Structure 1
């Protein structure tokens, strides 16, 4: 089988959702490959020999123009410099500057930044705090390869969620160790216990931030504590984890081959190395499976 098209990050979804006696949601993760923005069933399965080939063509996911280099996960340089989706505040939401009148795109701010956001705890390579739009659950967790996740707050804007993430980040990491992520399953963590501890410890600072953002008249930027949420658990289709991590790079080696051993986050795990599919958004790929 051979497929060819413009690569986008894989779509991760849930199947076989169940609830245990402890009211913990558990589900298996399944993936679809995205070529030319169309969901397709995976053109390969765990255990198969697969081959990925970069044709050398790269296209901007925003304007569609051909580009020699990809910026900010699939953009040409012009879009990278002008699109709000490529601004630094996407990586550091606490630096949102809409209120200063300097946002690159008002429409983007209304569609993305001023939508309900979730502050969550997750367990990928270890405990971390993160944020995501309400509509991006559970996608955000699955893209990060989290085996556990727990929403702890619902807020009214991206900047507000960023402020809370920074606050919690003084006690909890906000990054995932991707190498550790791909070496095995993370040890289970008592996310509910950690939630209660953090909410109690940071109660005064949460109130200070709530008071600051309550002055916003244009948007509802309140904070809702999600006391009744229960942890989710995710099981990834991984047959075998590698002992040592070797990362494939299509810019240096346009054709890579290997036996597929698993998928976790946005990574294909092969016996020859791992590859982050999301990194090659906008690349034209040929995908072959035996």
Structure 2
């Protein structure tokens, strides 16, 4: 079987285990069905997710020019405390910014390699946790806009990590934590503006990933340096494909790359 298309973030479905899909323009792949099969990945060209041109991808699937132009790549995406739509102030595209920023957001704790704090739109729960490879997560507050979520995250960063160790996550070098207890401990650090939105009685969500074999040593596949790779797929976690030889491929980091995928038994 052979597939060809531009890579975008794998779509997911909450199940036991998580179900993964690669969606191309004219086709899609149920990635779980490829476990224990040999996959050959060949890099063909670039295709910017904004302009569609064969221009070198700079970040997040966009060429250099579009990365600094499109609202989907503005600074407030990575730093939600910079959101200004609630003040009616435009960054790159106020209509887009209002659509995204002025909707319910949650600040959460997720445990993938360690407990970390993060922000996402309510509509992206639990997708965001799955993409991070978290095996457990819990909401702390649910606020009406991105700005309030952002300042809450900033306040909590002083007391808990905000980054994931992707190597530990992929090796499954993890420990279960009591996220309810940790959430309660952090309540005292929530800004006054967001304190009324604290979630008191929820339980953590547990997530299982489709992994047959975790690697002990990791080698990251970079399609710009290695344009062709072949290996047996042993797992999917976060947005990574995990292969038998310890090679791991971050699909999301390769958005905008046009590839050919050949699957054999």
Please indicate, yes or no, whether the TM-score normalized by the shorter chain is above 0.5. yes
1:12, distance to aligned residue in structure 2 (A):
1.4
Q: Distance in 1 between matches of 2:63 and 2:227?
A: 20
Q: Give distance in 1, aligned partners of 2:83 and 2:14.
A: 32
Q: How does 1:115-134 map to 2 (within 5 A)?
A: 115-134=103-122
Alignment length (residue pairs): 262
SS of structure 1 residue aligned to 2:20 = strand
Give distance in 1, aligned partners of 2:167 and 2:147.
29
Query: Could you say what secondary structure the match of 2:138 adopts?
Result: strand
Q: Secondary structure at the match of 2:58?
A: coil
Q: Post-superposition shift, 1:95?
A: 2.1
Counterpart of 1:94 in structure 2 is 81
Mapped partners of 1:166, 1:35: distance in 2 = 37
Structure 2 gap segments, 5+ residues each:
none
The whole-number CA distance in structure 1 between the counterparts of 2:239 and 2:183 is 27
Q: Secondary structure at the match of 1:173?
A: coil
When residues 286 and 58 of structure 1 are mapped into structure 2, their CA distance, relative to the original with a 3 A threshold, is same
**Counterpart position of 2:171:** 183
Structure 1-normalised TM-score? 0.85
Contact kept in structure 2, 1:89 and 1:95, CA below 8 Å: yes
Q: Give, in angstroms, the shift of residue 93 of structure 1.
A: 1.2
Shift of 1:2: 0.6
In the alignment, the residues of structure 2 paired with residue 126 and residue 239 of structure 1 have an alpha-carbon distance, to the nearest angstrom, of 22
CA distance in 2, matches of 1:156, 1:144: 23
| Normalised TM-score (structure 2) | 0.93
Alpha carbons 2:151, 2:191 under 8 Å: kept: no
- Partner residue, 1:147: 135
Equivalent residue, structure 2, for 1:51: 40
Aligned match of 1:253:
226
Structure 1: 5+ residue stretches without partners: 16-26, 211-221
* Residues in 2 aligned to 1:160 and 1:111: alpha-carbon distance in whole angstroms: 16
Give the match's secondary structure for 1:141.
Answer: helix
Map of 2:237 onto structure 1: 264
Give how far 1:39 is off.
4.2
Question: Which residue is equivalent to 2:258?
Answer: 284
What secondary structure does 1:94 align onto? helix
- Equivalent residue of 1:82, what SS? coil
